Amino acid sequence: IYGMEPPDSSVQSPDFVSLELTVENVEKALQQLYYDPDMEHKNVAQKWLTQAQTSRQAWQFCWPLLSPDKLPEIQFFGASTLHTKISCHWADLPTDQHQTLRMQLLSHISHFSSGPKMVLTRLCVALASLALHTMPQGWPQAVADMVRVYQPEKEEVNAHAHCLALLELLTVLPEEFQSCRLPQARRAQLREALAGEWTAVCPLLRQLLQRQEGNSQVKERALRCLSSWVGLDVPLHGESEGLLQDCFAALSDPELFDTAVETIVSSISQPDCQRYTDALVNLMPLVLGLHDQLKAAARDGDMETSHGICRIAVALGETHSRTLLEQVEHWQGYLALVKMILFCTGIPGHYPVNETTSSLTLTFWYTLQDDILSFEEDKQVVYLQVYRPVYFQLVDVLLHKAHFPSEQDYTSWSSDDKEQFRIYRVDISDTLMYVYEILGAELLSNLYDRLGRLLMDTERPTAWQDTEALLFGFQAIAETIDVNYSDVIPGLIGLIPRISISNIQLADTVMYTIGSLAEWLADHPMMLGNVLPMVLQGLVKAELSVSSVSTLKRICRECRHDLAPYIHDIMTVSQDVLVKDIHKSSQCMWLMQGLGFLLSALPMEEILGSLTTLLTPHIQRLDTLAHQEPSPTAKLSIIHILGMLSSLFTTLDISRQDEGSEGTTPAQARPNPVVVVLQQVFTLIQTILSKWLSDSEVVEAVCGVFERSVKTLLNDFAPMVQQLSEMLGQIYSAFPQASALDLTRQMVHIFAGEKDHFSPIQALIELVTSTTLSIFQPLSKEEATAPKPP
């Protein structure tokens, strides 16, 4: 804030509560608000000024605050007060004063047309609010009157300032309408009245944009004014069409380019534009006329220009896709627009480092496809003949855009750039999946043929990015589309081992592609031998942790009944990587879940032995930790191992064996292997709790082991109900914790109705209830007044 003198710190801050509402006191309050270092004084001043604005006296004291000799911040408060009174307290003003107030505002806007800008804007907003209160009956031609009052004459000294003031006023009027709260009927009436005033605004804006000698500031404000008015659904035909053409002409002026883009995009993005089909058709040549400028910008690396032109093309093509498709006599024009957008999708450079344009176009391809497929079948056939080739081109373009840069360039990217590129590839993946609907099996055949040619051509060296991009395309489709009936998948599985994996990105994509085919492999288990060794090789590499572990988990889940020939290799490699801590904690959990699926399919007599072999090193480590003094490192290790047990027991479900081989012993005939393991480690878990009972995270990890087991085993968990109920009671009575309550709820849900388990469950519920009630009982008088320990 400029100009105001800071208050003398030796002077006592006034008590505003008892002050009169005078101009002098308002100025004192503003000085205190802006300059007093004491926040309490500032708050008092702020509260008093807010009350002052709502008072009846505000209608009078606001005008002296707008005197030319006052400081800008005081003038600003006066203008803001006027707006507050008009917008919120209009009913307080007698009708016979409306005309006077309007004339005063018009006069003050004229005085402040040269600034300060913040005061001028608030006065314009105040007059806009007044207009919305009085239109159309009280002020029938409000906008036309505003234009007439401030219409700049060339010979006027302040012509330029008056012109900018008029544009500011015309810009804030629709904005004030959009932001004010009005009854529905009144809003509709005002919208109609404002739309009727467009005939006064449109010629003015055209006149200003067409001026040869006009400066850029006026033209920019004129463009912003149009953006404000298009939100009122003003008609696009007639003179408005010419105004839009003027906006396109403004694109050639670098100073106006960004504002012109915003204005054009907001104008043609209005859904109401679809009523003016002829105008939309007439816009196509204007947009297509930007193609050369777009190509030049792409060639020169001018990201701002290519970005802006692309936004215009997408706004027209996407918002009005169906309308323009239906104009069959202009099909070549719309096809040219679609190809212009395709150029934007494939614009040279790597996103987001060299270009940011291509991502703007992706949703357009969804819209166009949906609109084509929404036509009746006979029309669809015709459109597909025209646009299927374009969509095949789109696939080529998208796969090219998904290419990783050279390793040297990629290393130089920031972590933020790499993350944006990852998200961009996900968007491309989603688009490829979507266009499969329009291209069908031919798309997979196309990708397979290209991959085959790439891998079989030993004479010509292949960039790894080309192979990776094609696999990425396969994976995108196989991830969500049922490819079980595709005749190219066997060939793809055969090609994958031929890939020379030279870097992490390619290796990751190979892993994810295999994972996406897990369901297909379940139906064709003889092909597992082609790809499973590659997954196990990836599993021992920390840099492939996420992709290799998630792929193995998917294979174990989908193909568990067909993995008998490979189970030894899977278990050996998995045990090795777990013991060596190759993977982060979350990947270890995924791996344990995968092994749970795998073990579930083993014959009952083999599960316990495999389970013991898998868990023994971790149980031994847990035992060592349980007897150590508590420390942050020990805590993390304990939670990690308990988490691995939880993950394993989440998926190790022998009831699934009904789906597998015949002749197995029913689960009920022998103890569940999970129960056997839990009984063996129960004492160890009690030892851990004896040292960590007050640590909610460790207790939560312990409860998690049992909660996952109970959910998976259900009634098979019965042998442990007595032990676990007693342990839960001890945990909760010593340190009541949410995780213990959650596990108790799970136990009650499954076992409370069982006669054999009613007694321990009842005792647990009674203990939990009494402990909980004691927490919320009010303190006795002696306890409440007892001194607190330091």
Dihedral of CA 506/512/517/522: which sign? Answer: positive
Provide the domain limits for residue 464.
Answer: 440-601
Note the pLDDT tens digit of each residue in 250-280.
999 999 999 999 999 999 988 777 778 888 8
Which of 40, 59, 88 terminates a domain? The answer is: 88
| Residue 33 · residue 46 · CB < 8 Å | yes
For residues 591 and 448, state if they share a domain. Answer: yes
- Distant-in-sequence, close-in-space partners of 405: CB < 8 Å, separation ≥ 6: 350, 353, 413
Note the pLDDT tens digit of each residue in 225-240.
999 999 887 887 778 8
Closest CA to 492 of 531, 526, 438, 533: 531
- Tell me if 739 is assigned to some domain: yes
The Cα-based distances of 702 to 266, 418, 728, 729 in angstroms read 57, 38, 10, 14
Whether residue 490 is predicted with pLDDT greater than 90 in this model: the reply is yes
The Cα-based distances of 353 to 362, 427, 504 in angstroms read 18, 17, 21
Residue 241: both structure tokens together: 């069409």
**pLDDT value of position 784:** 52
What DSSP element (H or E) covers 39? helix 39-54
**pLDDT value of position 531:** 95
Note the pLDDT tens digit of each residue in 677-711.
999 999 999 999 999 999 999 999 999 999 999 99
For residues 555 and 621, state if they share a domain. Answer: no
Q: Which residue has the tokens 């959910």?
A: 711
Tell me the C-alpha distance between 115 and 168, whole Å.
12
Tell me the C-alpha distance between 311 and 317, whole Å.
10
- Tell me if 334 is assigned to some domain: no
Tell me the C-alpha distance between 298 and 306, whole Å.
6
For residues 698 and 637, state if they share a domain. Answer: yes
- Tell me if 282 is assigned to some domain: no
For residues 611 and 681, state if they share a domain. Answer: yes
Q: What percent of the chain has pLDDT over 90?
A: 73
* Helix 673-692 with 632-651: angle, nearest 10 deg: 160
Q: Which residue has the tokens 């003050």?
A: 108
For residues 595 and 611, state if they share a domain. Answer: no
Distance of CA 686 to the CA centre of its chain: 45
Tell me the C-alpha distance between 433 and 362, whole Å.
12
- Tell me if 8 is assigned to some domain: yes
Q: What's the CA angle centered on 756, arms 753 and 758, to 5 degrees?
A: 50
- Tell me if 378 is assigned to some domain: no
For residues 589 and 612, state if they share a domain. Answer: no
Whether residue 439 is predicted with pLDDT greater than 70 in this model: the reply is yes
- Tell me if 176 is assigned to some domain: yes
For residues 558 and 696, state if they share a domain. Answer: no
Identity at 408, one-letter amino acid code: Q
Residue 778 in 3-state DSSP?
A: coil
**pLDDT value of position 502:** 84
The mean pLDDT value of the chain amounts to 90
**pLDDT value of position 10:** 36
Q: How many residues does the chain have?
A: 790
**pLDDT value of position 6:** 47
Note the pLDDT tens digit of each residue in 397-420.
999 999 999 999 999 999 999 999
For residues 57 and 144, state if they share a domain. Answer: no
Whether residue 326 is predicted with pLDDT greater than 70 in this model: the reply is yes
- What confidence tier does 9 reach under pLDDT thresholds 50, 70, 90? very low
Note the pLDDT tens digit of each residue in 356-393.
999 999 999 999 999 999 999 999 999 999 999 999 99
The total domain count for the chain is 4
- Tell me if 490 is assigned to some domain: yes
Tell me the C-alpha distance between 358 and 360, whole Å.
5
Residue 163: both structure tokens together: 């012109």
Q: Which range scores top for mean pLDDT: 483-487, 575-579, 775-779?
A: 575-579
For residues 54 and 83, state if they share a domain. Answer: yes
- What confidence tier does 17 reach under pLDDT thresholds 50, 70, 90? low
Average pLDDT over residues 419-436: 96
* Helix 39-54 with 72-88: angle, nearest 10 deg: 50
| Residue 470 · residue 458 · CB < 8 Å | no
Closest CA to 78 of 23, 133, 19, 14: 23
Average pLDDT over residues 490-519: 94
- Tell me if 624 is assigned to some domain: yes
For residues 634 and 580, state if they share a domain. Answer: no
| Residue 162 · residue 111 · CB < 8 Å | no
**pLDDT value of position 21:** 81
HSE, side-chain direction, 13 A CA sphere, residue 281: 14
For residues 584 and 687, state if they share a domain. Answer: no
HSE, side-chain direction, 13 A CA sphere, residue 164: 18
Closest CA to 244 of 234, 254, 170, 218: 234
Distance of CA 212 to the CA centre of its chain: 45
For residues 589 and 454, state if they share a domain. Answer: yes
Which of 88, 122, 148 terminates a domain? The answer is: 88
Tell me the C-alpha distance between 393 and 398, whole Å.
9
In this prediction the pTM is: 0.83
CATH number of residue 558's parent domain = 1.25.10.10
Tell me the C-alpha distance between 344 and 226, whole Å.
27
* DSSP H helical ranges for 138-290: 142-150, 159-179, 184-210, 216-230, 239-250, 257-268, 277-288
Average pLDDT over residues 185-203: 92
